[in-house]
């Protein structure tokens, strides 16, 4: 237990000492050591991630957002407790439940 406390203090000790100052330099808390190097090393991946983010945003705003009320209304009509009970009681399989949902709502999109 003592070793864990000591190890933890070793990690945060510099920050504890900084807060103990009458006028601490808060900019030291906002810098990330090695961030510039990481960005340079992963620049292509980060740019690709940005492009993926733009695509996801376009899908969200172009397809999902206009139909959001309709989607929520459809989801409200699905009764997960009832459907789960049918699976547990072996009245239907999970595939049959999904097929039924697709038949019921698939034509709406």
Q: Where are the domains of the chain?
A: 41-67, 78-109
pLDDT tens for each residue of the chain, 109 residues long: 678 887 887 877 777 777 777 887 777 777 778 888 999 999 999 999 999 999 999 988 888 888 888 888 888 888 889 999 999 999 999 999 999 888 888 776 6
| Other beta carbons within 10 Å of 11 | 8
Query: In terms of DSSP H, where are the helices of the chain?
Result: 2-19, 27-30, 35-41, 43-59, 68-77, 80-88, 94-105
Task: Report the largest interatomic distance among the alpha carbons of the chain, rounded to a whole angstrom.
Answer: 71
Name the pTM for this structure: 0.39
How many whole angstroms separate alpha carbon 82 and alpha carbon 79? Answer: 5
């Amino acid at each position: 237990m003592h070793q864990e406390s000591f190890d933890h203090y070793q990690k945060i000790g510099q920050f504890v000492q900084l807060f103990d100052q009458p006028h601490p330099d808060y900019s030291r808390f906002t810098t990330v050591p090695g961030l510039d190097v990481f960005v340079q090393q992963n620049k292509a991946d980060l740019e690709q991630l940005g492009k993926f983010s733009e695509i996801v945003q376009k899908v969200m705003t172009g397809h999902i957002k206009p139909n959001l009320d309709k989607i929520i209304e459809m989801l409200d009509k699905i009764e997960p407790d009832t459907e789960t009970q049918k699976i547990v009681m072996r009245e239907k399989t999970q595939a049959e439940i999904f097929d039924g949902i697709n038949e019921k709502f698939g034509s709406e999109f």
